[in-house]
Amino acid sequence: MASSSDLETLIKVTYSRGVERFGDLHLDRETYSNRIRSIVLEHLGRSPQPSVVRSFVAGLNASELYLTTACANQAREFASSDQPNRHHELSRLAWKVFSSRYKGFIGELARLAFGHGGAPEDLTDRMLDYLLLPDGSRTSRISVYDGRSSLHTWLRVVIRSASVQMQDPQPSGVTGTHASSPDKPVPAKIGQLLVENSYGVRLADVLTAAFRELAPKERLILLWQHRDRLPQEKVAELFGMDRFRAQRFLERTRLKLDNKVVAILTKHGMSTSSIRDSLEDIAENFGDVISMLVQ
Residues 180-198: pLDDT tens digits?
333 344 444 445 565 556 5
- Greatest mean pLDDT among 63-67, 100-104, 151-155, 290-294 lies in 63-67
> How far is 146 from 129, CA to CA, in rounded Å?
19
* Residue 40: burial class (beta carbons within 10 Å; 0-12, 13-18, 19+): buried
Is the distance from CB of 207 to CB of 254 less than 8 angstroms?
no
Is the distance from CB of 173 to CB of 160 less than 8 angstroms?
no
pLDDT of 30 reads: 94
pLDDT tops 60 at residue 172: no
Is the distance from CB of 90 to CB of 66 less than 8 angstroms?
no
How would residue 293 be classed by pLDDT, with cut points 50, 70 and 90? low
> How far is 64 from 181, CA to CA, in rounded Å?
46
Higher pLDDT, 250 or 83: 250
Amino acid letter for position 6: D
Is 0.85 topped by the overall pTM? no
pLDDT of 4 reads: 61
**If we measure between CA atoms, which residue out of 72, 64, 73, 62 comes closest to residue 37?**
62
Higher pLDDT, 118 or 267: 267
Is the distance from CB of 112 to CB of 230 less than 8 angstroms?
yes
Mean of pLDDT values over 100-121:
76
pLDDT of 15 reads: 95
Residue 165's H or E segment, with its range, is helix 151-166
Amino acid letter for position 265: L
> How far is 209 from 260, CA to CA, in rounded Å?
9
